[in-house]
Amino acid sequence: MSANVPIIRLIDRFGRLHTSVRLSVTDRCNIRCFYCMPAVDAEFVEKSRLLSFEEIARLASLLVNRCGVRDIRLTGGEPLVRRQLDRLIAMLSRIEGLADLSLTTNGILLGEQAWGLRQAGLKRINISLDTLDEKVFQRISRRSGLEKTIAGIDRAIECGFESIKLNALAIRGITEQEVGRLVEFALQRQVTIRFIEFMPLDADRAWRTDNVLDGDSLLQMIESRFGKVVPIPRDDPAQPAEEFLVGEGRVGIIRSVTVPFCDQCNRLRITADGSIRNCLFAKSETPLRDLMRSGANDDELIAKIQQAIAEKKAAHGIDQTGFEPPERPMYAIGG
Ligand code: SAM
Ligand code: SF4
């Protein structure tokens, strides 16, 4: 980038500066978690309507070089089902000024792909793991796969990523039995585990407040098994996880429902079909794909991105009466 081009900072009406992007590379997935996808008849974007790697790389480099974005997390659907993802990682790793490139995965294909991703330049990885019981895994994901997920986690550890974190959804009626053994599993492997409160983003629209295992209850369960936890001061206020020292390890709690962190939000999202979503719970999107395909120049794309930021609401409003979940469920947004 030329040194003369000024950075157009993505600041919204509430003064929030956006430096972090969640980029979905596919809405397809190899399992069907009930908190995200429907059990059957999931609808997917036609392949020709997905952003190509070249289109993703163009948007990413605009966001970094012209708009001051610092970190990009690839997600989905399941990002590892997108063919040749390592090629995209290599393309994005070459963007100067991108401070952090990371990925969130269910881990099932990591055993085969971890080394290729590491070699392509991926440094940080988050792996979802909600249970250590195959029957519970099947109940949650409506597929088999726990053994492969664990093998994927262990392979990632062998490959020497700079950071590996585990993510577990906190669901009342399921997670109570898992908390202790999941923390134990993470402590043994010296990786951080974070518990994320279940949000109303399931395709089945079955979410109820009662289904959320809240952060306070989680902390009580952790303390009853591992003793008093010690809060670790947050070094980045936009980081949604509160972290605690538990024994020799770290455990995070993300209270997305009970203590929303919208006032610190620095994120925007790009769906696999190339629309900007300024919030997980946004009711509208700003499509970029067709604009790019019809020859829009960089300034025109940046103007659209700015428009999306300007339309961002103050908060997700899950706790407000009359809250309606967004039309697109999690897998179609990019978690
Ligand atoms: N397939 C990958 C995975 O599961 O890790 C990446 C995409 S997934 C949508 C990203 C993250 O969103 C996962 O950690 C998943 O647990 C989380 N997630 C999915 N549905 C959720 C919901 N309703 N509430 C909170 N988190 C959710
Ligand atoms: Fe697939 Fe991830 Fe959604 Fe589970 S949470 S169905 S693994 S996209």
Give the residue, by CA position, lying nearest to ligand 2 atom 1. Answer: 29
From the CA of 104, give the closest atom in ligand 2. Answer: 2
Predicted confidence (pLDDT) at residue 3 exceeds the cutoff of 70: no
Top mutation candidate among 104, 142, 171, 255 for ligand 1, by most atoms within 8 Å of CB:
104
Ligand closest to the CA atom of residue 37: 2
From the CA of 37, give the closest atom in ligand 2. Answer: 6
The predicted pLDDT at position 1 comes to 52
Provide the residue type at 44 as one letter.
F
Alpha-helical (H) ranges within 97-213 are 110-120, 134-141, 146-159, 179-189
Average pLDDT over residues 222-251: 94
327 neighbors 200 (Cβ within 8 angstroms): no
Q: Comparing 8 with 3, which gets the higher pLDDT? A: 8
Ligand closest to the CA atom of residue 334: 1
**Cα 198 to middle of ligand 1, angstroms:** 9
The predicted pLDDT at position 5 comes to 83
Give the residue, by CA position, lying nearest to ligand 2 atom 7. Answer: 106
Buried b (16+ CB within 10 A) or exposed e, 55-68: ebbbbbbbbbbbbb
**Cα 37 to middle of ligand 2, angstroms:** 7
Q: How many residues does the chain have?
A: 335
Provide the residue type at 232 as one letter.
I
Ligand closest to the CA atom of residue 107: 1
Looking from the CA of 3 toward its CB, the CA atoms found within 13 Å total 0
Chain mean pLDDT for the chain: 96
Q: For 121-158, how does the pLDDT look when each residue is reduced to its tens digit (9 = 90+)?
A: 999 999 999 999 999 999 999 999 999 999 999 999 99
Residues 6+ apart with CB under 8 A from 72: 20, 21, 22, 23, 60, 63, 64, 92, 98, 100, 101, 102
**Cα 104 to middle of ligand 2, angstroms:** 10
Q: For 184-204, how does the pLDDT look when each residue is reduced to its tens digit (9 = 90+)?
A: 999 999 999 999 999 999 999
Ligand closest to the CA atom of residue 27: 2
Crossing angle for the helix pair 53-67 and 298-310, nearest 10 degrees? Answer: 70
User: pLDDT band at 209, cuts 50/70/90?
Assistant: very high
The predicted pLDDT at position 126 comes to 98
Residues whose beta carbon lies within 6 Å of some atom of ligand 2 = 29, 31-33, 36-37, 76-78, 106, 330-331
Dist. CA 205–CA 202, nearest whole Å: 5
**Cα 80 to middle of ligand 2, angstroms:** 11
Does the pTM of the predicted model rise above 0.85?
yes
Which three-class secondary structure state does DSSP give residue 22?
strand
Name the one residue in this structure whose structure tokens are 């669901």: 171
Average pLDDT over residues 98-117: 98
Predicted confidence (pLDDT) at residue 310 exceeds the cutoff of 90: yes
Of the candidates 58, 103, 48, 62, the residue with the CA atom closest to the CA atom of residue 81: 103
Crossing angle for the helix pair 53-67 and 85-93, nearest 10 degrees? Answer: 20
DSSP β-ladder status, 71-75 and 100-105: parallel
Q: For 29-46, how does the pLDDT look when each residue is reduced to its tens digit (9 = 90+)?
A: 999 999 999 999 999 999
State what percent of residues in the chain have pLDDT above 90. Answer: 93
Of the candidates 70, 66, 61, the residue with the CA atom closest to the CA atom of residue 19: 70
Dist. CA 57–CA 52, nearest whole Å: 9
The predicted pLDDT at position 118 comes to 98
Structure token pair of residue 64 = 């970094």
Predicted confidence (pLDDT) at residue 2 exceeds the cutoff of 80: no
- If phi over 0 gives left and psi between -120 and 50 gives alpha, with beta otherwise, what is residue 18? beta
- Which residues share a beta bridge with 230? 245
Backbone φ and ψ for 117, nearest 5 degrees, come out as -65, -40
